[in-house]
Amino acid sequence: MDITPQSLVVVANRLPVDAQVTEGTEGRTVTWRPSPGGLVTAMDAVMRSNPGAWVGWCGTAGLELDPFTDDSGRTLVPIPLSATDLEEHYEGFSNASLWPLYHDGVAPPEYHREWWATYEEVNRRFADAAAAAAAEGATVWVHDYQLQLVPAMLRAMRPDLRIGFFLHIPFPPHEIFRQIPWRRQILEGLLGSDLIGFQRKTDASNFRRTLRMQLGMQTQRTFVKVPGTRADEPERLVRAEAYPISIDSADFEALARSPEVQDRAAEIRRELGNPDLLMLGVDRLDYTKGIRHRLRAIGELLDEGELDPTRAVLVQVASPSRGRVELYQAIRDDIESTVGRINGSFATIGHNPVIHLHQPQPREEIVALYLAADLMLVTALRDGMNLVAKEYVASRFDGDGVLVLSEFAGAADELTQAVTVNPYDIDGLKAAIMQAVTMDRSERRRRMRFLRRRVMENDVQAWAHRFLDALTGSET
């Protein structure tokens, strides 16, 4: 079908829905289900109230589909990606080069010229589709590290557009970023934007400093002076600033208040033997999330007798992530081995102190776990935001529960009444867990009141309005 040009176009690596292909006697049938990931969850809530076009991959390699309009009135524009595209653009350059680099080199990045070539080509495909979907003078909002070349490509094709870019992961210091062989191309790609948003002020500051050091550009407060590419093209001001993302807070609270979820929360505690202490970790399986550090701290607390292995339990949800990347397979093996050692040392008949769930959980089950848990452990080694921390707080309408939060997660800037911790400091992490365990009820509730006020007021709609108002010049 032809695309009706839209006044708002979102460009992201994934569509908000994944294609499910079934081959039958009457041919191929395509059905759709919601896509995973925090970006999709956040932007899906925004676009329900601001219908437009969404450009992204459909979730199945090699599948070419026409644009279509879904039940909510959004125009979805599927971008075809081959198996090679996924291997070199997504698993390769995006997640084996950029992801570790942008997370301060928590794991060593790899650089391959063929990956970069595919990254450029795929970015071009997304830019072409966005240009075709955008009405005259439209606002185009490009998302995340997989598509950093799209803004400049779009500007070259469609100078009439207002172009915003939001980076959902950290931006590293110049000393780390400079090692990438294609650093100039990435910076120039981002500078095609009118507004570049980051999760934290330090990320925006890192970016502006990198422009000064790498490209010799002048910056003034949050603005960057970008010279024209032609003699007759005037200088532009590009804004680079922090716009910390959030969640659909009211939706999480409403789900937590539902009788079904409350009943399930009570059932979870019964199934676990009604422990005195239920700790929870909910993460994608990733080396940046600090799952191994968390398990080490819990294992030592059990070994030292600080936690009673018969009355305490940790439920660790580690959803599959990039399973074809060798490093992630090694992480899974390491986590499962650690869980096995802890349970082998402290399990009793009918009770394991650590429950490891390595499969996606329905949203209702996750919220029931949030409601059931006494402690939420977010121990990321480096994280742009970490929406799980905010989801836990939004779900705790009962005003109880304690959030233990890494200072290296962007959420720590806002959620200052959490028990903050340096996850690299295992003794400090153990002390933080025990502080949370022994915290009296009045202190727990005081902290949670503050956390809930921040999360409920600064929800995903407020985040989107702040960004889009700044992009379109309508902010007050």
Q: Examine the domain organization and report whether 223 and 365 are in the same domain.
A: no
Q: Examine the domain organization and report whether 229 and 258 are in the same domain.
A: no
Lowest mean pLDDT among 228-242, 332-346, 348-362: 228-242
Lowest mean pLDDT among 41-45, 144-148, 152-156: 41-45
Tokens of 338: 């650690």
Q: Examine the domain organization and report whether 237 and 305 are in the same domain.
A: no
Residue 116 pLDDT more than 80? Answer: yes
Backbone dihedral region of 78: left (phi > 0), alpha (psi from -120 to 50 degrees) or beta? beta
Q: Is 168 a catalytic residue?
A: yes
Strand 162-166 relative to strand 134-143: parallel, antiparallel, unpaired?
parallel
pLDDT bin (cut points 50, 70, 90) of residue 476 is very low
Q: Which of residues 229 and 303 earns the better pLDDT score?
A: 303
Catalytic residue, candidates 85, 374, 383, 459: 383
Per-residue pLDDT, 292: 95
Do the domain assignments include residue 204? yes
Residue 219 pLDDT more than 70? Answer: yes
Mean pLDDT for the chain overall: 93
Q: Examine the domain organization and report whether 262 and 236 are in the same domain.
A: no
Residue 155 pLDDT more than 80? Answer: yes
**Three-class HEC string of the chain:** CCCCCEEEEEEEEECCEEEEEEEECCEEEEEEEECCCHHHHHHHHHHHHCCCEEEEECCCCCCCCCCEECCCCCEEEEECCCHHHHHHHHHHHHHHHHHHHHCCCCCCCCCCHHHHHHHHHHHHHHHHHHHHHEEEEEEEEEECHHHCCHHHHHHHHCCCCEEEEECCCCCCCHHHHCCCCCHHHHHHHHCCCCEEEECCHHHHHHHHHHHHHHHCCEEECCEEEECCCCCCCCCEEEEEEECCCCCCHHHHHHHHHCHHHHHHHHHHHHHCCCCCEEEEEEEECCCCCCHHHHHHHHHHHHHCCCCCCCCEEEEEEEECCCCCCHHHHHHHHHHHHHHHHHHHHHCECCECCEEEECCCCCHHHHHHHHHHCCEEEECCCCECCCHHHHHHHHHCCCCCCEEEEECCEHHHHCCCCCEEECCCCHHHHHHHHHHHHHCCHHHHHHHHHHHHHHHHHCCHHHHHHHHHHHHHCCCC
Do the domain assignments include residue 352? yes
Query: How far apart (Å, rounded) are the C-alpha atoms in residues 181 and 193?
Result: 22
Q: Report yes or no: 16 and 41 within 8 Å, Cβ to Cβ.
A: no
Please list, in sequence order, all residues whose beta carbon lies within 8 angstroms of the beta carbon of residue 5, skipping any fewer than 6 positions away: 133, 134, 135, 136, 138
User: pLDDT tens for residues 419-429?
Assistant: 999 999 999 99
User: pLDDT tens for residues 412-459?
Assistant: 999 999 999 999 999 999 999 999 999 999 999 999 999 999 999 999
Lowest mean pLDDT among 112-121, 165-174, 180-189, 350-359: 350-359
Q: Is 103 a catalytic residue?
A: no
Could you report how far apart the first and last alpha carbons of the chain are, in Å?
39
The rounded percent of the chain whose pLDDT value lies above 70 is 96
Q: Examine the domain organization and report whether 419 and 436 are in the same domain.
A: yes
Count of structural domains, the chain: 2
Do the domain assignments include residue 312? yes
Q: Examine the domain organization and report whether 189 and 219 are in the same domain.
A: yes
User: pLDDT tens for residues 374-400?
Assistant: 999 999 999 999 999 999 999 999 999
Q: Examine the domain organization and report whether 310 and 234 are in the same domain.
A: no
Q: Report yes or no: 167 and 141 within 8 Å, Cβ to Cβ.
A: no
Residue 207 pLDDT more than 50? Answer: yes
Per-residue pLDDT, 45: 67
Query: How far apart (Å, rounded) are the C-alpha atoms in residues 180 and 22?
Result: 41
Q: Examine the domain organization and report whether 189 and 258 are in the same domain.
A: no
Q: Examine the domain organization and report whether 466 and 435 are in the same domain.
A: no
Do the domain assignments include residue 210? yes
Taking CA atoms, 379 is separated from 43, 131, 153, 279, in Å, by: 25, 40, 37, 13
Tokens of 374: 């006494």
Q: Examine the domain organization and report whether 160 and 232 are in the same domain.
A: yes
pLDDT bin (cut points 50, 70, 90) of residue 325 is low
Residue 270 pLDDT more than 50? Answer: yes
Q: Examine the domain organization and report whether 105 and 139 are in the same domain.
A: yes
Catalytic residue, candidates 103, 168, 293, 356: 168
Tokens of 201: 């002020």
Q: What is the pTM of this model?
A: 0.94
Do the domain assignments include residue 1? no
Residue 1 pLDDT more than 80? Answer: no
Residue 121 pLDDT more than 60? Answer: yes
Query: In terms of residue numbers, what domain contains 178?
Result: 6-245+461-472
pLDDT average, residue stretch 49-77:
88
Q: Examine the domain organization and report whether 394 and 276 are in the same domain.
A: yes
pLDDT bin (cut points 50, 70, 90) of residue 232 is confident
Tokens of 64: 């070419």
* CATH number of the domain where residue 223 is located: 3.40.50.2000
Radius of gyration of the chain (CA): 23
Which residues share a beta bridge with 170? none
Query: How far apart (Å, rounded) are the C-alpha atoms in residues 339 and 66?
Result: 46
Per-residue pLDDT, 37: 65
Residue 77 pLDDT more than 60? Answer: yes
Query: How far apart (Å, rounded) are the C-alpha atoms in residues 367 and 397?
Result: 11
